[in-house]
Structure 1
Amino acid sequence: MNWQLACLDMAGTTVRDEGLVEKAFTVAVAAEDGFTLGSAGYERAIRFVRETMGQSKIEVFRALLGEEHRAAAANARFEVAYADLVRAGHVQPIAGAESAIRALRSLGLSIALTTGFARATQDAILDALGWRNLVDLALCPSDVPRGRPYPDMVLAAVLRLGVTDVRSVVVVGDTPSDIYSGLRAGAGIVAGVLTGLSDLEAFSAAGATHVLTSVNELPGLLRAMAPRAA
Structure 2
Amino acid sequence: MSTANPTNLVVLDMAGTTVADGGLVEQAFRVAAERLGEDPATMIDHVRATMGESKISVFRHLLGGDEARAQRANLAFEEAYGELVDGGRIAPVPGAAEAIAALKESGRTVVLTTGFARVTQDAILAALGWQDLVGLTLCPADAGGRGRPYPDMVLAAFLRTGAVDDVRQIAVAGDTSYDMLSGARSGAGVVAGVLTGAHDKAQLEAHGATHVLGSVAELPALLDGVGS
Question: What is the count of residue pairs matched by the alignment?
Answer: 221
TM-score with structure 1 length normalisation? 0.93
Tell me which residue corresponds to 1:104.
Answer: 103
For 1:209, the aligned partner's letter is: T
3-state DSSP of counterpart to 2:47: helix
Instruction: State the shift of 1:4 in Å.
Output: 1.4
Q: Deviations over 1:91-110 (max 9, x none)?
A: 11101100000001111110
Q: C-alpha separation between the residues in 2 aligned to 1:31 and 1:3?
A: 45
Instruction: State the shift of 1:63 in Å.
Output: 0.6
Runs of 4 or more off by more than 6 Å in structure 1?
A: none
Tell me which residue corresponds to 1:7.
Answer: 11
Check 1:108–1:213 CA distance in 2 against 1; reply closer, same or farther (3 A cut): same
Q: C-alpha separation between the residues in 1 aligned to 2:106 and 2:202?
A: 30
> Percent identity between the aligned chains?
58
Correspondent of 1:21 among 15, 25, 37: 25
Tell me which residue corresponds to 2:194.
Answer: 193
In structure 2, runs of 5+ residues without a counterpart are none
Check 1:133–1:31 CA distance in 2 against 1; reply closer, same or farther (3 A cut): closer
TM-score with structure 2 length normalisation? 0.94
Q: Deviations over 1:158-194 (max 9, x none)?
A: 0000031111100000001001101111101001000
Tell me which residue corresponds to 1:214.
Answer: 215
For 1:101, the aligned partner's letter is: I
Q: C-alpha separation between the residues in 2 aligned to 1:3 and 1:132?
A: 24
What is the root-mean-square deviation of aligned Cα atoms in Å?
1.1
Q: C-alpha separation between the residues in 2 aligned to 1:165 and 1:117?
A: 27
Instruction: State the shift of 1:32 in Å.
Output: 3.1
Q: Give yes or no for the alignment of 1:55 onto 2:53.
A: yes
Q: Deviations over 1:170-229 (max 9, x none)?
A: 0000001001101111101001000012111101211210000000000111122253xx
For 1:223, the aligned partner's letter is: D
Q: Deviations over 1:60-90 (max 9, x none)?
A: 1111113111111111111111111111100
In structure 1, runs of 5+ residues without a counterpart are 36-41
Tell me which residue corresponds to 1:38.
Answer: none
